[in-house]
Amino acid sequence: MSNTEKNLWIFTEERPKIETIETILDEFIKDYKEKFEKNSIKIKPIFKDGKFRFRYEILGIKICNIGKIYLEIVSGEGSFVDFLVYREKNYPEEEKDTPLYVIEETKTTPAESRDLHYQRITKFAILDFYPRIREAKKLFIYSIKTRFSTIPTSFEMASRMLKNMNVKILGLESTIIDIDDKKYDKFTSLKQMCDFKNSFAKKDGGKDTPQRIDLISTDKIEVSARLQKGKNQKSWSDPSTGFVAAVCFVIKQVFKFPGEIKIVNHRFKNNPFQNKSKSKLVILVSQLKNIKLGKWSFPVAKLPESFFKETKGEKLVSILLHLAIEFTQTAKIIYENHAGCEQGYFDTNLSQPKKYKSLLKVGTKKPDLIIIDDKTKEIFILEAEKSENIKNGIKQLKSFTNVEKDYCKKYYPGYKCERYVILYGKHDNVPEVIFTLTTKGEIICSKNCPQIIANAVNKIQNS
């Protein structure tokens, strides 16, 4: 690498997908008009002296004026976007370096959740209060795996709000949505946004509370939404909370409304804030000021000093194993549910994959990773744990009976299913544990480790 070249650094809480990384790099190339050569993009775990360096390199693409492209798994402090991208020669420092991009990604279609789009806005809203991060370009990427034929009006509403926040929406090019259509243009005024939202607010009745934004006067707005969840007066509705947070941010920060916002029809009978002082809504409201939940004031909550930090969770081992198998192509992953990451799809071995959570019975335990070996006709159902929680991990194996019966054996008849634990931390020589990633980056495969897993690790350590 020459002295003028810098590296690209991608930080994420998610298991990175090749198609998403490619979308990010394509956007960078377009924005900075760089020349490039691209073949088949791969994500390679980096090993040195046989030890994992807790870092990955993106191979298969060479961008002019960029040395290497690195990726690291991190954890957010409070509210973190799915990807944060820097261009720096050395490891970025949050206090002094400004990222190029802050990125949210979802595989959920616009038809599947009327309020998910509002929840995503909240993440972009919170990062706006971090001086350096607010300067980055904001991207919202749809990584859609299933077809959809309906577009809820709430998607139109949220998309327009995102554009008001200068968020670029990608990934809908091959769908029925033309995000550049005029009906998705940003709102030109606060009144226009209120009128549009109220035009499709459901009528009040029974359990339903209409989500509305009413301009009461020049110094008062009422936002209507049911925030109380179910029968429990201490539970909050995540979808409605996302709507309220998103709307309050756009009203205050985009349209610069100076007056009071009062949240009404929330359904809380008593002050609900005793154990909610660090929620995303409270953190956001603390920055916006002059917002009340009915007659109650919001508690004050500070933004976390850091936006992200080094992670030490069990997803380090499950994501490493996932990406090692994906890179070496020694086997196939048919399901993923890495801790803290968006749940993946169960590959039904059919032409149209179905969403795992929509097939699962309520309360069924989800494993972290399911690997299939078509040559030996074996399926490995894996639970990832930190070494101090090994007993819990072993206990969890017994709860995967429904996963094995209703999915693995149903869609892959004749395959033998085995359940194991993979660890992050210290190795424990018990039969249930087949694979360990130590805190120093050492890889330990037990005697009973399936050959395809051992092969993937050996292959990548020596490549």
Residues 270 and 291 in one domain: yes
* 307: in domain: no
Q: Evaluate the CA torsion angle 226, 229, 232, 233 in order and state its sign.
A: negative
Read off the DSSP letter of residue 33: T
Q: Mind listing the pLDDT tens digit for each residue in 417-448?
A: 999 999 999 998 999 999 999 999 999 999 99
Domain-located, residue 332: yes
Q: Where is pLDDT greater, at 305 or 215?
A: 215
Of all helices (H) and strands (E), which one includes residue 72? strand 66-76
pLDDT confidence band for 217 (50 / 70 / 90): very high
pLDDT of residue 238: 83
Residues 195 and 159 in one domain: no
Asked if 89 contacts 6 with a C-beta cutoff of 8 angstroms, the reply is yes
Output the pLDDT for position 207. Answer: 61
Residue 171 Cα to chain centre, angstroms: 15
User: Residue 89 falls within a domain, yes or no?
Assistant: yes
* 8 A C-beta contact, residue 266 and residue 225: yes
Range with lowest mean pLDDT among 160-174, 191-205, 243-257: 191-205
Whether residue 214 is found in the same domain as residue 338: no
Whether 109 is in a domain gets the answer yes
> What is the distance between the alpha carbons of residues 126 and 105, in angstroms, rounded to a whole number?
16
Per residue in 88-97, pLDDT (tens digit) is 999 998 888 9
Report the pLDDT averaged over residues 259-263. 97
Whether 360 has a pLDDT exceeding 60, the answer reads no
How far is the C-alpha of 173 from the C-alpha of 175, rounded, in Å? 6
Element (H, E) at 192: helix 190-199
The reported pLDDT for the residue numbered 176 is 93
Contact 195, 215 (CB under 8 A): no
Q: Taking phi first (over 0 means left), then psi (-120 to 50 degrees means alpha), and beta for anything else, what does residue 319 get?
A: alpha
Domain, as residue range, for 123: 6-184
Can you give the pLDDT at residue 358? Answer: 43
* Domain shared by 251 and 387, yes or no: no
Residue 244 main-chain phi, psi, to 5 deg: -60, -45
My answer on whether 265 and 358 are in the same domain is no
Question: Average pLDDT over the chain, rounded to whole?
Answer: 90
Q: What is the CB-side half-sphere exposure of residue 431 using CA atoms within 13 A? A: 3
* Partner residues linked to 346 by β-bridges: 354
**Same domain flag for 126 and 161:** yes
In this prediction, residues 191-213 reach a mean pLDDT of 83
Query: Span 197-201, mean pLDDT?
Result: 91
- Which of 117, 149, 184 is the last residue in one of the domains? 184
> Do both 55 and 96 map to the same domain?
yes
The whole-number pLDDT of residue 362 equals 53
- Per-residue pLDDT at 226 exceeds 70: yes
336 shares its domain with 272: no
Does 34 have pLDDT greater than 60? yes
Regarding whether 41 and 178 lie in a shared domain, the answer is yes
Quick check: is 305 in a domain?
no
Q: Is 225 left (phi over 0), alpha (psi -120 to 50) or beta?
A: beta
Residue 275 has pLDDT above 50, yes or no: yes
**In which band, very low, low, confident or very high, does the pLDDT at 342 lie, cut at 50, 70 and 90?**
confident
Inside any domain, residue 443: yes
Q: Residue 393: exposed, middle, or buried by beta-carbon count in 10 A (0-12, 13-18, 19+)?
A: buried
Tell me the pLDDT tens digit for each residue of 282-324: 999 999 999 999 999 999 888 888 888 888 899 999 999 999 9
User: In the chain, how many domains are there?
Assistant: 3
Q: Last residue of a domain, which of 184, 205, 236?
A: 184
In a domain, 88, yes or no: yes
225 and 102 in a common domain: no
Task: State the average pLDDT over residues 200-225.
Answer: 85
* DSSP β-ladder status, 66-76 and 137-142: unpaired
Residues 108 and 13 in one domain: yes
Q: Which residues contact 259 (CB under 8 A, 6 or more apart)?
A: 217, 218, 219, 220, 221, 290
Of the ranges 43-52, 266-275, 349-358, 376-385, which one carries the lowest mean pLDDT score?
349-358
Please report whether residue 437 resides in a domain. yes
pTM: 0.91
Q: Give 347 or 360, the one with higher predicted confidence.
A: 347
Same domain, 163 and 43: yes
Domain endpoint, select from 184, 202, 223 = 184
Residues contacting residue 192 through CB under 8 Å, at least 6 positions apart: none
Q: How far apart are CA 76 and CA 315, in angstroms?
A: 14
- In this structure, the strands spanning 416-425 and 433-438 are parallel
pLDDT in tens, 40-62: 999 999 999 999 999 999 999 99
Kindly report, residue by residue over 372-400, the tens digit of the pLDDT: 999 999 999 999 999 999 999 999 999 99
pLDDT tens string 108-150: 888 876 667 788 888 899 989 988 888 899 999 998 877 888 8
Task: Supply the pLDDT for residue 206.
Answer: 54
